[in-house]
Amino acid sequence: MWHLAIRNLWKRRVRSLLTILGVAVSVQIYLAMTTMMASAEADLQDQLKTLAGKVFIQRIMTAESMVEEFPSPSSSINMEVAGELLAIPGIDESMSSAILYVPLAKPPAPGSPPPTRALGITPGHELAFLGPLKIIAGESILQGPQSVILGQGAAAYYGEESGHGVEVGETINVLGESFTVVGLLDRAPAVHDGMVMMELATAQRLFKRPSSVSAVILSAENITEVPRIKTQVENLHPELVAAAQEDVEENVRAMYALVYDLADMVNGVAILVAFLFVMIVMIIAVMERRRDIGVLRAIGAKRATIFGMIASEALLLSIIGALLAGPLWALIRVFVEIGIVSAVDVILTKWLNIGLLALFTGLGASLLPAWRAVQVDPLEALRYE
Amino acid sequence: METIVSTKDVWKIFQMNGVSVEAVRGIDMAVEPGEFVAIVGPSGSGKSSLLHLLGAMDHPTKGDVFFGEQALSELNDGQRADLRLRRLGFVFQTFNLLPTLSAAGNVDVAMRLAGAGRSERKARVTELLERVGLGERANHLPRQLSGGEGQRIAIARALANKPSLLLADEPTGNLDTKTGAGVLELVRGLCDEDGQTVIMVTHDFRAASYADRVLLLRDGTIRGETRLEGEQDTRETLSRLLTAEL
């Protein structure tokens, strides 16, 4: 009965269009939320990849820093203690280092990370922090006390005035001092993306912390040694917090649990709105077409056929609406931030979500109105006055 | 003799606000193949209720309706719907065409429901529209048709699946005299030329005069019955029937 469904929708095309738009907006909200959360999850996974085989040590100084991510700008470890930790047996010295981490700009919003941060690290031990991340231009090793390696976010921040990101060979000004950019990092997790990496001694001088660092990164020679190293740190210095990859992941997930819950709630509401849109319109349609339904039943249409007709209409509304959500979302993204190609990529990866959502919305929302339609008694519906 | 449809002591009692209304009271009747039977009676006589029972659209309170040898009480809802689709054709007083479909579409929908193929449907729709004299109105919507044209399309729809029995409930009730006569001529032609079996319910004796046999219904029972042998004695025969009943 698809042909009847199409004709019925066309007869009330303004109402059909408004319903489709309603579904499209709801699905678009769902797409936006799931994409945002997927990006956040992907970012988290990328960050976690850099943590494999490592133990991260910092000192919790304030209540706020209990929930801050690593490295925490409010953490402070004495240089002697740092040296002690770096001497623990079983660590890969070249992949281990003390680091000093200081925000260079105010966060754009409360609770969000600062757009750029200074990271002081022992020269030659850059990979302790960079891990598997790629350098897209220049060097992966600092070239002297006035050299820096920038993340993409930091390069954009310092290139704001010129209108293009800072490139290798150019200079930037940090707290009144000039630094030459010797390397640029590829797109990376947030912690690395805003990074201005410099020599540890330079950072300690610049930020007036000659005898302390923010944290220590220890890389195990053998990944199976991570638990032993972590326990040893905790035994040596109970005042310090040592975290391995799984600890960091647990903390981050706990921190963002509320965000994930909120996103799930928004998604649930969006789906419910789409559902209600279609259901309300179909209930009205069944009420309006009581007589037509009675005629069909009188001439021999089975209840299942009537049910199928109503379900077909509901499915059409939700499928068209859901399909429209993709281009609608892409249009918004084009105007807001990214290029058309990236938007299309996300649409293509989300096609299964869109399809399932359309199916669920259409079929689910049609149940009540279709049930009401099959209850129509042909004699009552066709009763004359 | 073989019958198309028959009833055996069939009753239909409605409960309305605690009051029982006996719309059909113990009717026994039978219709043979090729017959045109008119059921005549005033408003409230139970003729539409009887038609609904004959057409498997309603369930009797007592007794049974038989389609051939098949008792309708033995059929479930789906089987009754199937019977209405494939063996019965309905024509309603208010035509009841689907407003979103064209004339051809309305005729076609009955065959779609029966699962007929596209080419078969197309050929049959063309044939039926020509038969009812509306071949050139195939693409018109119901609101673009006159009353008589609408009823002719309804008749074409009722014939779509080649039903054994055509049931007409006051088919000329909403039409002027001349237009109504045209529709009745068409129905009469279906009987004479195609051997179609027809049961028509009407309150109009003039409409009843097109039938082969007239049943007079009053207060849910058959009060009289007569055969109409020819045009000449129809008026006289019907008058006698009415007088005898009074």
> Cβ of B96 and A298 within 8 Å?
yes
Give me the phi and psi of A100, to 5 degrees please: -115, 130
pLDDT for the residue numbered A258 = 81
User: Would an 8 Å CB–CB cutoff place A383 in contact with chain B?
Assistant: no
> Cβ of B101 and A4 within 8 Å?
yes
User: Would an 8 Å CB–CB cutoff place B113 in contact with chain A?
Assistant: yes
For residues B169 and B207, is the Cβ–Cβ distance under 8 A? Answer: no
pLDDT for the residue numbered A113 = 67
pLDDT for the residue numbered A259 = 81
pLDDT reading at B233 higher than 60:
no
Q: How far is A377 from chain B (nearest CA, A)?
A: 9
Task: Identify which of B57, B78, B110 has the shortest CB distance to residue A302.
Answer: B78
For residues A282 and A373, is the Cβ–Cβ distance under 8 A? Answer: no
Instruction: Determine, yes or no, domain membership for B12.
Output: no
Instruction: Determine, yes or no, domain membership for B53.
Output: no
> What's the domain count of chain B?
1
Q: State the pLDDT confidence band at B231, using cuts at 50, 70 and 90.
A: low
- Torsion sign over Cα B91, B94, B99, B103: positive
User: Of the segments A247-256, B4-13, B223-232, which one has the largest average pLDDT value?
Assistant: B4-13
Calculate the CA dihedral of residues B79, B85, B86, B92 and round it to 10 degrees. Answer: 130
Task: Identify which of B77, B90, B101 has the shortest CB distance to residue A299.
Answer: B90
User: Would an 8 Å CB–CB cutoff place B71 in contact with chain A?
Assistant: no
For residues B151 and B180, is the Cβ–Cβ distance under 8 A? Answer: no
Please state, in angstroms and rounded to a whole number, the distance separating the CA atoms of residues B154 and B148: 10
User: Would an 8 Å CB–CB cutoff place B81 in contact with chain A?
Assistant: yes
> Cβ of A292 and B90 within 8 Å?
no
pLDDT for the residue numbered A342 = 53
User: Would an 8 Å CB–CB cutoff place B76 in contact with chain A?
Assistant: no
pLDDT in tens, chain A (385 residues): 788 888 888 888 888 888 888 888 888 888 888 888 888 788 777 777 777 788 888 887 665 554 455 677 778 899 999 999 999 999 998 889 999 988 888 777 776 667 788 999 999 999 888 887 888 889 889 999 999 999 988 898 888 766 777 889 999 988 889 999 999 998 877 778 888 999 999 999 999 989 999 999 999 888 888 889 999 998 999 888 888 877 777 777 777 788 888 888 988 898 898 888 889 989 998 988 899 999 999 999 999 999 999 999 998 988 888 888 878 777 776 666 655 545 555 556 667 777 777 787 788 888 888 888 888 888 777 764 3
pLDDT for the residue numbered A306 = 92
3-class SS of residue B94: coil
Residue type, position A198, single letter = M
ipTM associated with this complex: 0.88
The pTM score is 0.68
Residues of B in contact with A2 (CB under 8 A): none
3-class SS of residue B109: helix
Instruction: Supply B177's token pair.
Output: 């005299």
Q: How far is B89 from chain A (nearest CA, A)?
A: 7
Q: State the pLDDT confidence band at B50, using cuts at 50, 70 and 90.
A: very high
Instruction: Determine, yes or no, domain membership for B175.
Output: yes
User: Would an 8 Å CB–CB cutoff place A382 in contact with chain B?
Assistant: yes
Instruction: Determine, yes or no, domain membership for B240.
Output: yes
Distant-in-sequence, close-in-space partners of A306: CB < 8 Å, separation ≥ 6: A293, A296, A297, A370, A373, A374, A376
What pLDDT, in 10s, does the model give residues B27-36?
999 999 999 9
> Cβ of A303 and B84 within 8 Å?
no
What pLDDT, in 10s, does the model give residues B98-138?
998 999 999 999 999 999 999 999 999 999 999 999 999 99
CATH code for the domain of B130: 3.40.50.300
Q: How far is B181 from chain A (nearest CA, A)?
A: 22
Residues of B in contact with A291 (CB under 8 A): 96
Report, as an integer, the average pLDDT of B69-97.
93
CB interface of B with A, residues 158-187, below 8 Å:
158, 161
What pLDDT, in 10s, does the model give residues B132-171?
999 999 999 999 999 899 999 999 999 999 999 999 999 9
Residues of A in contact with B85 (CB under 8 A): 299-301
In 3D space, the residue among A265, A279, A119, A295 whose CA is nearest the CA of residue A198 turns out to be A119
pLDDT for the residue numbered B161 = 94
Residue type, position A46, single letter = D
Instruction: Determine, yes or no, domain membership for B68.
Output: no
Q: How far is B139 from chain A (nearest CA, A)?
A: 14
For residues A306 and A286, is the Cβ–Cβ distance under 8 A? Answer: no
Residue of B76, B84, B125 for testing the chain A interface, max A β-carbons within 10 Å: B84
Please state, in angstroms and rounded to a whole number, the distance separating the CA atoms of residues A268 and A260: 12
pLDDT for the residue numbered A384 = 46
pLDDT for the residue numbered A385 = 36
DSSP strand pairing (B88-91 vs B165-169): parallel
pLDDT for the residue numbered B9 = 95
> Cβ of A292 and B77 within 8 Å?
no
Looking at A337-382, list the stretches that DSSP marks H as alpha helix, in order from N- to C-terminal side: 340-349, 351-374, 378-381
3-class SS of residue A76: coil
Domain that holds residue B175: 34-45+76-245
For residues B126 and A325, is the Cβ–Cβ distance under 8 A? Answer: no
A12-17, Cβ contacts within 8 angstroms, sequence gap of 24 or more: A12/A285, A15/A281, A16/A281, A16/A317
> Cβ of B90 and A303 within 8 Å?
no
Instruction: Determine, yes or no, domain membership for B1.
Output: no
Residues of A in contact with B52 (CB under 8 A): 379
On average, the pLDDT of chain B sits at: 90
Task: Identify which of A4, A292, A299 has the shortest CB distance to residue B110.
Answer: A299
- Alpha carbon A374 to its chain's center: 45
pLDDT for the residue numbered B234 = 63
Q: State the pLDDT confidence band at B80, using cuts at 50, 70 and 90.
A: very high
DSSP strand pairing (A97-103 vs A215-219): antiparallel
pLDDT for the residue numbered B71 = 94
pLDDT for the residue numbered B237 = 66
